[in-house]
Structure 1
Amino acid sequence: MTNRKADTDEQDKPIRLAEHMAFSRSFQTLFNDGMALVDETAVYLDGPGRTEAKALSRQAATLYAAESMRLTTRLMQIASWLLLQRAANQGDMSRAQVEAEKSKVRLESVGSGQDSHYFTELPVDFRDLVDKVIKLERRIAMLDREIYGTVPEAAEPPSNPVAEQLSLLKTAFRG
């Protein structure tokens, strides 16, 4: 005899589209886009960005340096989230393990220098990268809230974000 109450309860639950997307094949597109943006940013910062930064005023160069750090921090957070989600999708980690590890990921916690009047002096390609990364970060943060029910924290920044990111990456690649 089946439990009709449990079957009815399961059917009555709303479908969470973000969760469905994050655990479906369409997640691969988001993953690929995020990792491509990591690569694109690294190539820019190591090549044309380095050259373009040398031509900036002292104030704009300072903003460029600060914004570059924010950019790479955002990308490390995004990559960590994507790798954790992929590990969950592939069955390498349970949802509980992902939730425990993703508590170290801070989405939307890094400020931006876009309000500075020197921001318009920064190279166009750099500003475009900043814009793309912020939009991707917001999209992932929205997915994260929808899937895991998290609320953006106004907590203290991690004491050593690089070490935490390395720990996340090690966890994601354990097999």
Structure 2
Amino acid sequence: MRMEAGSGQAATINLAEHRVFSGSFKKLYGEGMHLVEEAAEYLDGQGRLEAKSLTRIAATLYAAESMRLTTRLMQIASWLLLQRAANSGEMTRDQVAAEKSKVRLDTASAFDTDNSWGELPAAFRDLVDRSLRLQSLVRRMDGEVYGADDSFERRALNPVSDQITLLKTAFGR
């Protein structure tokens, strides 16, 4: 989006950057942290009970996907905390950019490739879906504010990595 500046020059306003570094960030931060809390409560309570009734294959998928969900949400929370630190002046944008290089916003899900996905509890599938949507939003914002990172696209083209992770989880290696 372009807006005219007083000197007759055009100034570019990056809407994602404006959202990340403005008061509207509080809503995104609240949604993200609420999802982290909701997932933790589910996995420690209802999810644990529901997982006991799954078939062996579905239980293996549930265990692997639970790890992916937890990892995804912790990475999103890390990104949100860094942005909050920048917004409050605790860190400079350059410090945030350096620290966020440790944050990975590319945790995939097996939902579209695994036949047992439909056997998983609906509440769990909903949490995974919502976490993926939030991760996608955060990734887009991160790319617009700090520059593109194509590591997720490269990884998405190679699904072998996810299958190896699933096998390691299933056989405890």
The answer for the alignment partner of 1:4 in structure 2 is none
Q: SS in structure 2 opposite 1:116? A: coil
The alpha carbon displacement at 1:119 in A equals 0.5
Counterpart amino acid of residue 120 in structure 1: G
**Percent identical:** 58
Matched, 1:46 2:28: no
2-structure distance, mates of 1:59, 1:98: 41
2-structure distance, mates of 1:116, 1:28: 36
Of 56, 62, 65 in structure 2, the residue corresponding to residue 64 of structure 1 is 62
Q: SS in structure 2 opposite 1:35? A: helix
Residues 87-139 of structure 1: CA distance to partner in whole angstroms, max 9, x if unpaired? 0000000011000000001112x221102010000000000000000000000
2-structure distance, mates of 1:152, 1:29: 27
The alpha carbon displacement at 1:8 in A equals 4.7
Contact 1:107 1:152 in 2 (8 A): no
Q: SS in structure 1 opposite 2:81? A: helix
| Structure 2: 5+ residue stretches without partners | 1-5, 156-160, 162-173
The answer for the alignment partner of 1:111 in structure 2 is 108
Counterpart amino acid of residue 82 in structure 1: L
Q: SS in structure 2 opposite 1:68? A: helix
- Number of aligned pairs? 150
The answer for the alignment partner of 2:135 in structure 1 is 137
1-structure distance, mates of 2:41, 2:118: 22
Residues 128-165 of structure 1: CA distance to partner in whole angstroms, max 9, x if unpaired? 000000000000000000111132325899xxxxxxxx
Contact 1:107 1:141 in 2 (8 A): yes
5 Å-filtered alignment, 1:79-158, equals: 79-108=77-106, 110-114=107-111, 115-153=113-151
Q: SS in structure 2 opposite 1:55? A: coil
**TM-score of the superposition, structure 1-length normalised?**
0.81
**TM-score of the superposition, structure 2-length normalised?**
0.82
The alpha carbon displacement at 1:27 in A equals 0.2
Counterpart amino acid of residue 35 in structure 1: M
Counterpart amino acid of residue 53 in structure 1: A
